[in-house]
Amino acid sequence: MDLYERRQLRYRHIFITVMVSCIVAVITAGATFIYCAKKGTSNVLPFVGKTPVSTEATSDETINAISQSLKSFRNVIDTYYIGDIEESKLLDGAIKGYVDGLGDEYSEYMTKEEWEEYQTAALGNYVGIGIYMGTDKDGNTIVSAPIKDSPAEKAGIKTEDIIVEVDGENVLGVDSALIATKIKGEANTKVHLKIARGTEYLEFDIIREEIKIYHVETEIKNGNVGYMSLYTFDTGSAEEVQKAIKELESKGAKKFILDLRYNGGGLVDEALKIANLFIPKNKDVLITVDSQENRVVTKTENDNITNAELVVLVNEYSASASEILSGALKDNGRAKIVGTKTFGKGVIQNVFSLFDGSVLKLTVAEYFTPNETKINKEGIVPDIEVELEKVEKEEDFVDTQLNKALEILK
């Protein structure tokens, strides 16, 4: 059994143990409960506290402390709470809180239903309004791009719109995956969005439809430059990029632009497959270091399909898999990177399946470019830094970053 399998079994054991311990009672709440009598008087119940855990405690000691604390809270709930109790929701909430306690913005527990929704979107089809989403530096969810011909595009949703409310619920600072579940729904139903665009607040009523995701949009520019815009690294993205390269070459493309602006990442394997389309076999493309300081160097496995000159466009919303790909292409001398410094998400998550179909998405490694450049909290610095021109009216918009890429490829 290799290291990965041992670690997977260890994490699964810990979380199954937590789930069993929590089944007797689960809630995360304050330490003092107040009961208000009909006459307006109030009585403070006896203190219900958490079992203390030292910073040096073992995982077994921590799990035992959780179990004891939850039993204490549950006794009070069973005695005084007047609402209905759904055990499965309490259990899911307790585990979510446990994982949140890691303080890692990328690790999360997902129920079976949440995981199935995530996979459905990753496979390229879902019912919704048709937007790619990312995260800005303030932790708010932005529209990376509306999908072509989608309900969102037809309604007027634009790139960099900040999602403020979904059906009247404030979602500022809420994880984009959770916002996605709120926006999705049944076909032909309506969702109401409140959007921040610059200094304006705009509201939209959008009818959900079945959305087919096409990860790549292409165009021939200046007669011989194949332009490819890649919005996300979902299942099949690499295959679509490969197909796009071939189709653009058949239309006369001799050079390429790969646009990763607003691409918030996705599946690392897809990014590595795309790197291999441009980088020859047996070249370093990624270095990962795990919690045990094990260092793994990933190399390209196949011959590249093109040696054409390449420029990659990035910006501050290019993250994760986008940074892996642009870093690999840059360090191997296969592309000039143009734009602004990328987001700086340099950690990788693995998904560990639990016995009931739920999953733990856990940060397990930090990654570095082939030249050992740190990305996490740092980002990829472009070879040529170009700010995107900001204008008030869209018809006056000039894509200064794209123009620079085209200038390089003359």
In this prediction, residue 78 has a pLDDT band, given cuts at 50, 70 and 90, of confident
Q: When comparing pLDDT for 70 and 310, which is higher?
A: 310
In this prediction, residue 135 has a pLDDT band, given cuts at 50, 70 and 90, of confident
Instruction: Note the pLDDT of residue 32.
Output: 29
d(CA 206, CA 190): 6
User: What integer is the mean pLDDT of 177-193?
Assistant: 90
User: What integer is the mean pLDDT of 16-21?
Assistant: 39
Instruction: Note the pLDDT of residue 40.
Output: 37
Phi, psi of 319 (to 5 degrees): -140, 160
Domains 125-212 and 216-352+362-408 share a fold: no
Residues with a known catalytic role: 320, 331, 345
pTM of the model: 0.73
- With left for phi above 0 and alpha for psi between -120 and 50, is residue 197 left, alpha or beta? beta
User: What integer is the mean pLDDT of 275-295?
Assistant: 96
Show the tokens assigned to 398.
């000039």
Sign of the alpha-carbon torsion through 248, 249, 252, 258 = positive
| Residue 1 pLDDT > 50 | no
In this prediction, residue 314 has a pLDDT band, given cuts at 50, 70 and 90, of very high
| Residue 393 pLDDT > 70 | no
* Domain edges within the chain: 3-101, 125-212, 216-352+362-408
* Arithmetic mean of pLDDT over the chain: 84
User: What integer is the mean pLDDT of 220-240?
Assistant: 94
- As a 3-state breakdown, the chain gives helix, strand, coil percent values, each rounded to 5, of 30, 25, 40
Percentage of the chain with pLDDT > 90?
55
Instruction: Note the pLDDT of residue 224.
Output: 97
Give, in words, the CATH class of 216-352+362-408: alpha beta
Pick the CATH number of 125-212 from 3.30.1490.190, 3.30.365.10, 3.40.50.970, 2.30.42.10: 2.30.42.10
| Residue 22 pLDDT > 50 | no
Instruction: Note the pLDDT of residue 13.
Output: 43
Q: What is the DSSP string of 374-399?
A: B-TTT-PPPSEE-PPPP-SSGGG---
In this prediction, residue 56 has a pLDDT band, given cuts at 50, 70 and 90, of low
